[in-house]
Structure 1
Amino acid sequence: MTAKSATYILCINCGSSSLKFSLYHAGSLQLEWSGSVNAIGSSKSMLVIKNDAQVIEQQNGKYKNLDQAVKAVIRWLKNSSYHQGIAAIGHRLVQGGPKHREPELITGKLLKSLAGFIYLAPNHLPEEIKTIQTFQSAFPGLPQVACFDTAIHRNMPDEAKYYALPATYQSQGLMHYGFHGLSYEYILQKLSQEDEDIKNKKIIIAHLGNGASMAAIKNGVSVETTMGLTPMGGLVMSSRSGDLDPGVLLFLLKQGKLTPTQLDKLLSKDAGLKAIAGIGDVQELLNREAGDADAKAAITLFCYQAKKFIGALAAAMGGLDILVFTGGIGEHSAMIRHRICDGLGFLGIVIHQQANIQSHEIISDRTARVSVKVLTTNEEAMIAQHTQQLTYHNN
């Protein structure tokens, strides 16, 4: 395999149990190839790199943690003919605290600042910072860019942004951040290519995957979103609790005698659908629900909460013009989309069953007032764009 004489932008997207990475041409932003390491921490973990539909590399590495997966990707890059053409590296970071909301060149000063906000995202930031440092060591001198998943929500109105707690905590970074920003940004860009008037529309984007959230976009601005201070809030998720009465946390601390660390693990890794049915995979739950009451209860709760939040977000905007489903579940599960939309006719949401089953881009009934769409998201494409804007155009 030989790379053409070209310069590239490498995009890195760390998840809780996965690593996605893509290589884009620095000028055209055309995708060269994309790869992933899924099921990190299990014996099923595998590194796969594809060029279109063709697999160009596959390694069953049984990667025990993200660091091992990152180093495997770097080894492959170093042994390929692409590494000499890499001009910049972009990273998705879940959180940058109140001081870092827009894409930013990575410096020692930025990394030091981010380390000071680890308490806001202890399950994500340490690994993400370590990944950046590993790439800095492997590719010294290359510009690297941090793309924060909170960026799109930075202009939410104060009534949506701040909690009803003493203002002194705001200075420590306590606020409603929201997440999945790169995904929302990509979907908005896609919608604007189809409709020049999109900035005058009221839109709900439902990013449904193992981590799930929704955002209300009014006049091109995120005005409300379901995740809050952390990615644990909002909708019930695969292994995350979603919103809870604050009294529940006090109950768990006092009656359950949990430590803060144990509470964090419970809410982020042992709650949600997994707590109800023993597993968090929605497709597997759908397969089981006919003969499994717990699986049925988990799916029912997931769809109920999604339905409830759609109503709340529409109310926050004073109406709704477009509902978009994206993310692994949102894009691929017609049954979940059907159950969420069923009964929302009072909002103008009516889906066409056949279009939904066939996962057409537009799945709403022709007579429906709200356009319901299914769109594929691409966080790495947004990372590439931001990295290009901060590095390539300045060279």
Structure 2
Amino acid sequence: MSAHILTLNAGSSSLKLGLFAVAAEPEALAEGQVDRIGDDARLWLHDAKGRELAARDLGEAGASHGAALEAALEVLEEHLPEARIAAVGHRVVHGGMDHDAPVRIDDAVLERLSALEPFAPLHQPHNLAGIRAARAAFPDAVQVACFDTAFHRNHPFVNDVFGLPREFYDRGVRRYGFHGLSYDYIAGELGRADADLHAGRVVVAHLGNGASLCGIVGGRSVASTMGFTALDGLPMGTRVGQLDPGVVLHLIEQEGMSAAEVSEMLYKRSGLLGLSGISNDMRELEASDDPRAAEAIAYFTFRIRREIGAMAAAMEGLDGIVFTGGIGENSARIRREVCAPLGWLGVTLDPAANDRSARRIDADGAVAVLVVPTDEERVIARATSAALTG
């Protein structure tokens, strides 16, 4: 019986899973997802050819990430009973200063990662809950943590430091960057499909409920819009993005808010949701005729354009832009509104190609513009297969 890898990618309100056959290039066998955990959760499972194996409302079984994982594993066992899980690969958002590559998980590693929960409160607790549940479900399997911060760990000093007393940098207060598994995948895809662009200066825009940009030169991250936590940079579904730190002081000292109240607002009630007062879902905002929705979208696209300019400065030029993530891959409007004012950088879109979300959407401009679906699960599977066989 062949061995298999299970990948788990726990978000703030979702859980993605993948089943792969162990190989130098793991073979995808199935993928699934649980959406809206804690609120009308729904599960689906597809085989590698995209055929639906299961789709169901979970009810109480989707009330928490742990319950959702149990339900997902039951469905996987029901439809793929031959699977023998030899290893489980986990997305872990924050690896801190210690981890610049995937690592096998033991009790000591899990304890160190637990200490990082305050720096990624929407994700790290769920990532670690998934690890604990998988260790219980598959006690003999190798467990591997793959870090969103690892791809950014070799930034130049000037892109890694804050203007604080140096002692804080030495103690780990620095720009970590996130969405690294996605950026790793995109860099690899460019290396396979477009060697010249891969060797150049590319801004990758990972746009979803969480959103960030990464400046990549020769396949390596040199700058990211996200910093010490996943709050910084672009406005997101519910996260604030870039904010004058004096605002936080004002909220605490003058508005009387506690640190916990400020944190809850910045992570869960800001961004597109806070600006629009309608939704954090870009599809709902694009469909709305409420002017607040249009204003939230305008701010979102403005900040992306501003940060593309900053990334071009950090890279000393711009050869390409890649859109990825749920919004980046699917919203022609967002791509159009981001790119239309960037002619000064050599960016020109082909409207028809953009409307159909073609892979290449530039109009033979000086700057290549691509739409490339990301695959974080495959990056996790590759790292886990290497850890298992190595």
Unmatched 5+ stretches in structure 2: none
* Shift in CA distance, 84/374, structure 1 to aligned 2, threshold 3 Å: closer
SS at match of 1:164: coil
Between the aligned partners of 1:301 and 1:164, the Cα distance in structure 2 is: 27
Counterpart in 2 of 1:281?
281
Counterpart in 2 of 1:7?
3
Counterpart in 1 of 2:250?
251
Counterpart in 1 of 2:66?
67
Look up the equivalent residue of 1:280 and give its one-letter code.
N
SS at match of 2:189: helix
The Cα of 1:260 is off from its aligned counterpart by 1.3
Q: For 1:19-58, what aligned pairs fall within 5 Å after superposition?
A: 19-27=15-23, 28-43=25-40, 45-51=41-47, 52-58=49-55
The Cα of 1:171 is off from its aligned counterpart by 4.0
- The TM-score normalised by the length of structure 1 is 0.94
Between the aligned partners of 1:13 and 1:199, the Cα distance in structure 2 is: 26
The Cα of 1:118 is off from its aligned counterpart by 2.3
| Post-superposition CA distance 1:158-207 (Å, at most 9, x none) | 00001111122234421100000000111111111112334430000000
* Shift in CA distance, 327/81, structure 1 to aligned 2, threshold 3 Å: closer
My pick for the range that moved more, 190-199 or 348-357, is 190-199
Between the aligned partners of 1:195 and 1:53, the Cα distance in structure 2 is: 26
Q: For 1:83-102, what aligned pairs fall within 5 Å after superposition?
A: 85-102=84-101
Alignment partner of 2:312 out of 276, 289, 314? 314
Between the aligned partners of 2:209 and 2:144, the Cα distance in structure 1 is: 26
Unmatched 5+ stretches in structure 1: none
Between the aligned partners of 1:298 and 1:115, the Cα distance in structure 2 is: 34
Q: Does 1:17 align with 2:13?
A: yes
Counterpart in 2 of 1:131?
130
Between the aligned partners of 2:197 and 2:101, the Cα distance in structure 1 is: 22
SS at match of 2:86: strand
- Do 1:34 and 1:49's aligned partners in 2 also have CA atoms closer than 8 Å? yes
The Cα of 1:114 is off from its aligned counterpart by 1.3
- Do 1:198 and 1:220's aligned partners in 2 also have CA atoms closer than 8 Å? no
Between the aligned partners of 1:50 and 1:296, the Cα distance in structure 2 is: 35
Counterpart in 1 of 2:185?
186
Counterpart in 1 of 2:376?
379
Counterpart in 2 of 1:169?
168
My pick for the range that moved more, 174-183 or 274-283, is 274-283
Between the aligned partners of 2:181 and 2:203, the Cα distance in structure 1 is: 15
Between the aligned partners of 2:201 and 2:46, the Cα distance in structure 1 is: 36
Q: For 1:161-310, what aligned pairs fall within 5 Å after superposition?
A: 161-278=160-277, 279-288=279-288, 291-310=289-308
- Do 2:312 and 2:318's aligned partners in 1 also have CA atoms closer than 8 Å? yes
- Do 2:4 and 2:83's aligned partners in 1 also have CA atoms closer than 8 Å? no
* Shift in CA distance, 84/383, structure 1 to aligned 2, threshold 3 Å: same
The Cα of 1:253 is off from its aligned counterpart by 1.0
Between the aligned partners of 2:358 and 2:335, the Cα distance in structure 1 is: 12
SS at match of 2:177: coil
| Post-superposition CA distance 1:90-139 (Å, at most 9, x none) | 00000011112210011111112112222322332222212111111111
Between the aligned partners of 1:84 and 1:265, the Cα distance in structure 2 is: 40
Look up the equivalent residue of 1:303 and give its one-letter code.
T
Between the aligned partners of 2:286 and 2:298, the Cα distance in structure 1 is: 10
Counterpart in 1 of 2:323?
325
Look up the equivalent residue of 1:208 and give its one-letter code.
L
My pick for the range that moved more, 249-258 or 121-130, is 121-130
* Shift in CA distance, 83/144, structure 1 to aligned 2, threshold 3 Å: farther
Look up the equivalent residue of 2:55 and give its one-letter code.
Q
Q: Cα RMSD (Å) of the superposition? A: 1.4
Q: Give aligned pairs, total.
A: 385
The Cα of 1:75 is off from its aligned counterpart by 3.0
SS at match of 1:99: coil
